Amino acid sequence: MNAQRAAAEIIVEGDVQGVGFRNFAQRRASLLGLSGYVMNLRDRRRLRVHAEGARGVIEDLVKLLEKGPPLAHVDRVSVRWLAPTGRFPAFDIRYAEFEP
């Protein structure tokens, strides 16, 4: 695959904690072949996804995150494009200091 690598910081806002969103994001990103992580943010209404891979594949992940798992209610998804770091061998769940 010759697609140019990209990276994105994706912030998902809404009822996204305590509903299986991190597992949903990790499974979908892994199936898409992306690397990076997902983690809850302290405010209980947002989570952060850092994804690296082909830009088009990251865009596919964003579409999936806009819907989320069945118990989630997504209000907003914002994407900030970055240069890829190559630091992530897989797509993982990171556990923040705060857990709901």
Q: Which of 2, 5, 22, 28 is catalytic?
A: 22
2 noted as active-site residue: no
45 assigned to active site: no
Pick the catalytic residue from 40, 55, 80, 87: 40
The SS3 of residue 22 is helix
Any idea which residues carry the catalytic annotation?
A: 22, 40
